[in-house]
Amino acid sequence: MRILWVKAGGLLPPDMGGKIRSFQILKQLARRHEITLFTFYPEHPDDQHLHGNGFFANIVPVPLPLPPRRSLGEYLRSAGMMAAGRPVTIDKFLYPEVRRRYADLLASATFDVIVCDFLVPGSLMHWKRPPPTILFTHNVEAQVWERHYKVTTNPLMKTACWLESRALAGAERRYVELADHVLAVSENDRAFFLQYVDPSRVSVIPTGVDTEYFQPSSDSEQPDTMVFTGTMDWMPNEDGVAYFVDKIFPLIRREIPDAAFWAVGRRPPRRIQALASGNVQVTGAVDDIRPYLGKAAVCVVPLRSGSGTRIKIFEAMAMGKAVISTTMGAEGLPVNHGEDIILADDPADFADQVVQLLRDPQRRAQIGRAARQLVEENYGWPSVAAHFEQIMQAVLTHANST
């Protein structure tokens, strides 16, 4: 197949959940198919898209002069879009140059199928015209903002989340209804989209993990240590880390005074940087998260908002780590409480579960072994990509027969 993959926000390097999922699937698909990547994203130094990548037939990069993140320019631009009822998540990328370059690409090449990766490129798609278009959803986007609206206490952020969730809900429904087929990353997300389309038009692509890259470490665990990994300026991660340090970590330290917490991930905002102390380490960007996962006694995922599925959990599980997560943090993943993961939502219960595992090396090792077995046997990227390929072929066959 000749596949056109359209993605906002860039793909290289694959350094956050959605990018990792797309990159790993594309890496597998490229072994059998011809793939063109069209991607638009904020311009930045050392842009890897401009240098190409060995497994794409073609890359069409469109770097954009977006205002710096969390700058006055970004806030003012976003406020104008929200005031007009436009979804900032989508419209902030839609410069005329993007539309022109996309139109030029379609005029110069032919494709068998187009993948619209996330909602953002939805307004570029030629819906209901050949070739068939698959909408690949990594979250229920409106739900991400709606859930954050419920947990944030900042009045301005609360208003922004409400406005963005309403604007995104309309766009999400429109593109789900227009797509030839919709791919969700969990049964929960699929059930949400079934409000809008027939069940035959929505499939689930499970979350995967590179079980060769993420393997149990030979490094000795440091006693009484906890780690959280993730992009720190993504709202659910930022909220989760702040919530953990404020509400859960003090309860753990009552029982284990020397307990330490590592927040590992790029672009921590000032709010997260301010949490750093003798017992709390905020690393910022690191070249490799595996040393932190390997040395930590347990991995914590204290998320209160978000949607889709968290690749960070599968990465920790692949390294044989015991994971303690909120129910929402592990939402959509095929995990089993008490066997390959521990789930807890109340701060006191979460802290108690962490303390129990920190004090019981045999128990956390048992959970870690079960976690590794689960992902190793069922959720490697080759099997995920094979399922993706089958769905694309079925969509193409159906389109050619109608």
Parse the chain into domains and list their residue ranges. Answer: 2-208+381-400, 225-378
Name the least confident of 44-53, 197-206, 232-241, 273-282.
44-53
Task: Provide the mean pLDDT of the chain.
Answer: 95
* Residues 143-157 pLDDT 10s: 999 999 999 999 999
Averaged pLDDT, 278-304: 96
- State yes or no: pLDDT of 347 exceeds 80: yes
Query: Residue 400 in 3-state DSSP?
Result: helix
Note whether 65 and 43 are within 8 A (CB).
yes
Round to whole Å and give the CA distance between 290 and 70: 29
Query: Residue 52 in 3-state DSSP?
Result: coil
pLDDT value for 266: 92
Do 2-208+381-400 and 225-378 agree at the fold level? yes
Note whether 343 and 322 are within 8 A (CB).
no
pLDDT value for 70: 84
- State yes or no: pLDDT of 41 exceeds 80: yes
pLDDT value for 309: 81
Q: How many helices (H) and strands (E) does the chain have?
A: 15, 13
pLDDT value for 51: 83
Averaged pLDDT, 91-118: 96
Round to whole Å and give the CA distance between 327 and 302: 9
Closest among 186, 397, 204 to 307, alpha carbons compared: 186
- State yes or no: pLDDT of 228 exceeds 90: yes
Round to whole Å and give the CA distance between 35 and 39: 13
pLDDT value for 402: 75
Round to whole Å and give the CA distance between 55 and 63: 21
Residue 34: partners with Cβ closer than 8 Å, 6 or more residues away: 1, 2, 3, 57
Name the least confident of 181-190, 304-313, 355-364.
304-313
Q: What is the CATH number of domain 2-208+381-400?
A: 3.40.50.2000
- State yes or no: pLDDT of 52 exceeds 80: no
The CATH class given to the 225-378 domain equals: alpha beta
Length of the chain equals 402
| Strands in 247-319 per DSSP E | 260-264, 280-284, 298-301
- State yes or no: pLDDT of 109 exceeds 90: yes
Round to whole Å and give the CA distance between 170 and 133: 19
- State yes or no: pLDDT of 53 exceeds 80: no
Averaged pLDDT, 232-248: 95
- State yes or no: pLDDT of 215 exceeds 90: yes
Amino acid, single-letter form, for residue 235: M
pLDDT value for 387: 95
pLDDT value for 259: 98
Averaged pLDDT, 100-126: 96
Look-up of token digits 């099997």: 383
pLDDT band at 54 (very low <50, low <70, confident <90, very high): confident
Name the least confident of 52-66, 194-208, 283-297.
52-66
pLDDT value for 174: 97
Strand order in the sheet with 225-229: 280-284, 260-264, 225-229, 298-301, 323-325, 342-343
3-state helix vs strand vs coil in the chain, percent to 5: 45, 15, 35
Round to whole Å and give the CA distance between 261 and 229: 11
- State yes or no: pLDDT of 401 exceeds 90: no
Residue 261's H or E segment, with its range, is strand 260-264
